[in-house]
Amino acid sequence: MKSICVMGIGYVGLPTAAMFASKGHRVVGYDVNEKAVNALNKGEIIIEEPGLGALVKSTVESGHLTGSTVCPNDCDVYIIAVPTPINSDKTADMRFVRSATETLVPNVRKGCIVVLESTSPPRTVEDLMIPILEKTGLKIGDELLVAHSPERILPGKVIEELRTNSRIVGGINKKSSEEVKKVYESIVEGDIFLTTSTTAEMCKVMENTFRDVNIALANELAKMSEELGVNAWEVIRLANQHPRVNILSPGPGVGGHCIALDPWFLVEASDKAKLIHQARLNNDSMPGFVKKKIEKILNGFQNKTVALYGVTYKPNIDDIRESPVMNLWKLLKECGVNVRVCDPHASEKLEESYGMYDAAQNADIVVLGVNHKEFEAIDFGKLASVMRGKAVLDTRNFWPEKSVTASGLEYHLLGKSDNMVKWEN
């Protein structure tokens, strides 16, 4: 068994720490955030993730997992899982990776392993971390092994995916890759593929970029469909019958800590990333596009009230980072619109949030921003009875048109032209 320090106990670091602890390793969750560390030492969590609370509680109680605001100097393995956000000019903000790496210098010793899990621009290990780690005086790749092993977990399924996903381990040399593979073998049941650190960095960023570009295509299709008298969702359903086509879904934009940010790392790294850049711009334009659609449905924004259902960046989680629906909220407020938000998952993080039917009180339109499971059971008759207007805009193709219209409400769908040719029944 090894002693492992996970640096950064957020959405990625905490589940990783708890998984290693559950396999009998001694794990220290080191974080600069005292609140996160205090919660961990009480066996509690301050983020929402199914199964995580129980795993943290049991591993803290068994004594395998502890939290600390001081980086330990007696661990065998140091895993960096700190944020890699972007600056306002869309360049990578590598402050956290830099400071975590600097923290390591006085704390590592001969034989230690350092793994960067944070999603990072290609060449981060080679160009940013190694020059700092060289200050230890240890021979890199021999006395101090270094690798990048990107995390690819899906929020909401983190505990399962940490175990079952395949993993890429990109070492600074072969020895680093092989030793880091042995570390992950204790928690990963999927395949572990070995490569170079820069290839591993590029893989992770390209995986997210692939999805971003595909979603940008779906969003472009949605915009064109509204102009050309078709329903983008029907086009996608039919086109995806083709065995080699898989168009993802349009929506109010792309959010979260990963897909909305990582492609910018490539835009910054290489002026060849033209398509990637345009895809980012397309996806970032969606909150504005939805705002315009709402304005058109309401025929202007004079004294209007919008009930906005769901503001997280994806369904059934509490994460609002980079959420395009949060941007939509901001854009509507800037136009003087009264916005009443309902989000059962993120309510504690919001300046205001109403209950399911309270949000629709006197609303001129109900906009579904995120398809949380709670919204599936909505009673449209009850909604219609408290609303002032009649319009419903679904940005996720989640609510059945018939259920909406049966209650006397008007149904609008992002990506569907309001002037489509209707077949007679």
| Contact (Cβ atoms closer than 8 angstroms) between residue 219 and residue 282 | yes
Least spacing, CB of residue 42 vs ligand NAD, in Å? 16
Residue 424, token pair as written in the block: 């007679």
Residue with smaller CB distance to ligand NAD, 100 or 367? 100
Residue 387 neighbours by CB under 8 Å, 6+ apart: 307, 360, 361, 362, 363, 364, 366, 409
- What separation in angstroms does the CA of 359 have from each of 37, 305, 339, 384? 36, 10, 9, 12
Residue 167 neighbours by CB under 8 Å, 6+ apart: 149, 152, 184, 188, 190, 191, 192, 193
Place of tokens 């489509």: 420
Catalytic site residue 258?
A: yes
**Nearest-angstrom CA–CA distance, 424 and 400:** 19
**Nearest-angstrom CA–CA distance, 425 and 406:** 16
The single-letter DSSP state of residue 424 is P
Residue with smaller CB distance to ligand NAD, 72 or 141? 72
Residue with smaller CB distance to ligand NAD, 84 or 225? 84
Residue with smaller CB distance to ligand NAD, 99 or 316? 99
Catalytic residue among 258, 293, 342, 416: 258
Residue with smaller CB distance to ligand NAD, 121 or 310? 121
Binding site for ligand NAD (CB under 6 A): 7-13, 30-33, 36, 81-84, 96, 99-100, 103, 118-119, 151-153, 155, 257-258
User: What is the helix (H) or strand (E) element at residue 307, kind and residue range?
Assistant: strand 305-309
The residues with which 3 forms a beta bridge, in sequence order, are 26
Least spacing, CB of residue 297 vs ligand NAD, in Å? 34
Least spacing, CB of residue 173 vs ligand NAD, in Å? 23
| Contact (Cβ atoms closer than 8 angstroms) between residue 225 and residue 415 | yes
| Contact (Cβ atoms closer than 8 angstroms) between residue 119 and residue 208 | yes
Strand, coil or helix: what is 417? coil
Least spacing, CB of residue 262 vs ligand NAD, in Å? 7
Report which residue's Cβ sits closest to ligand NAD.
Answer: 10
| Contact (Cβ atoms closer than 8 angstroms) between residue 71 and residue 27 | no
Catalytic residue among 5, 181, 204, 416: 204
Least spacing, CB of residue 120 vs ligand NAD, in Å? 7
63 exposure class (CB count in 10 Å sphere: 0-12, 13-18, 19+): exposed
**Nearest-angstrom CA–CA distance, 350 and 370:** 15
Least spacing, CB of residue 393 vs ligand NAD, in Å? 28
**Nearest-angstrom CA–CA distance, 121 and 133:** 18
Least spacing, CB of residue 263 vs ligand NAD, in Å? 12
Residue with smaller CB distance to ligand NAD, 21 or 306? 21
Residue with smaller CB distance to ligand NAD, 96 or 233? 96
Least spacing, CB of residue 289 vs ligand NAD, in Å? 26
Residue with smaller CB distance to ligand NAD, 75 or 81? 81
Q: DSSP string of 233-253? A: HHHHHHHTTSTT-------S-
Show which residues are catalytic: 204, 258
